[in-house]
Chain A
């Protein structure tokens, strides 16, 4: 009883705080100085048409590296927790997947993978980028697993892709120290013209590796969650 009262108090208090903040909310008329600098200098300094990408990959590139590391860590912990014991092959009983689902998955999976690749290759020009593209690729794997619940996912392939792209990301960053302005500086390669595919220095390259890495990590998590259903 007292517990319920506390919960109500917390929710009402927080709701009141939120409400007073949101009620008179007026969005700003102009950008704050940091954002203004990014907007004015970004196109020339970084060369990416998508300014969010410029912030994510170049201005805050170290944050992105940390973020990829956190994702790797959570994928590794999931893999550690759901370690599969390949003992007696007792398949879990699943309802047979409907014809529509199987055909649609066969038709759509290549298109989903292609869309993911498109999204991360064009990350510096259009909305999207490595993380979103990687998530789309992993969702293609989810579709495949829904159509074939007992499919085996190759962990070796996932680990190879993940390790190579992670190493390449750091390697590009270190090359930036040696040959350009600093760690993850994108002026390592030519800037190109603003808005074309081969522009913004190494951003497309970094986003390709980020996309592959995120796709591999999320696929790894999904595959481990699927396999752990076979035990129990």
Chain B
């Protein structure tokens, strides 16, 4: 562990974030807290994907200062995971909004956000 790069830091914080998120998802009883856990899991996975797409000593995949058309393939990071994460962030946002809307509706129905009060799908 002599040379810890930015990608290792991003990778480990992504792993910790997603574990914390999964823990929240599994243990919390309050629906809002479960949604927060889901958002953390989501963010952690995004960080992992970005870290995996990093290429050693590379820069952002934008042609400008230091990156020309000729040397672009040698100096940039992989643009595909970044494009995928861009997609995933937006989808995650949509899902979070949807879950919050369900939570609002559930609270209107039973005046409770405790998951133990909802047994409709329990087996």
By a beta-carbon cutoff of 8 Å, the part of chain A in contact with chain B is 7, 10-11, 14-15, 18-19, 22, 25, 27-32, 34-36, 38-40, 42-44, 49-52, 54-56, 60, 63-64, 67, 70-71, 73-75, 77-78, 81-82, 125-127, 129, 131, 135, 194-195, 214, 218, 221, 224-225, 228, 231-232
Which residues of A sit under 8 angstroms from B55, Cβ to Cβ? Answer: 27-31
Q: A11-B19, A22-B11 are in contact. Are A51 and B100 (CB under 8 A)?
A: no
State the main secondary structure of chain B at its contact with A. helix
By a beta-carbon cutoff of 8 Å, the part of chain B in contact with chain A is 5, 7-8, 11-12, 15, 18-19, 22-23, 26-27, 51-52, 54-56, 60-64, 69, 72-74, 76, 78-80, 82-83, 86-87, 89-91, 93-95, 97-98, 100-102, 104-105, 107-108
Which residues of A sit under 8 angstroms from B11, Cβ to Cβ? Answer: 22, 25
12 pairs of residues in contact across A and B, judged by CB atoms under 8 Å: A11-B26, A25-B11, A28-B55, A30-B74, A43-B63, A50-B61, A67-B90, A71-B94, A81-B101, A81-B105, A82-B104, A225-B100
A77 touches B19 (CB 8 A): no
Please pick, from A14, A51, A55, A214, the residue contacting B63 in the complex, using a CB distance under 8 A.
Answer: A51
Which residues of A sit under 8 angstroms from B63, Cβ to Cβ? Answer: 43, 49-51, 194-195
B26 touches A78 (CB 8 A): no
State the main secondary structure of chain A at its contact with B. helix
A81 touches B102 (CB 8 A): yes
Q: A7-B26, A67-B91, A74-B98 are in contact. Are A51 and B76 (CB under 8 A)?
A: yes
| Of listed A56, A71, A74, residue having the most chain B CB within 10 A | A74
Which residues of B sit under 8 angstroms from A73, Cβ to Cβ? Answer: 94
The A-B contact count (CB < 8 A) is 148
Which residues of A sit under 8 angstroms from B83, Cβ to Cβ? Answer: 52, 55-56, 60
A218's nearest neighbour on chain B, judged by CB, is B93
Expressed in whole angstroms, the minimum distance between the Cβ of B98 and any Cβ of chain A is 5
Please pick, from B12, B86, B100, the residue contacting A52 in the complex, using a CB distance under 8 A.
Answer: B86
- Beyond A52-B62, A75-B97, list 20 extra A-B contacts (CB 8 Å): A11-B19, A11-B23, A18-B15, A27-B5, A31-B76, A39-B76, A52-B83, A55-B83, A56-B83, A70-B91, A71-B90, A71-B94, A77-B98, A77-B101, A78-B98, A81-B102, A82-B101, A127-B60, A135-B93, A225-B101
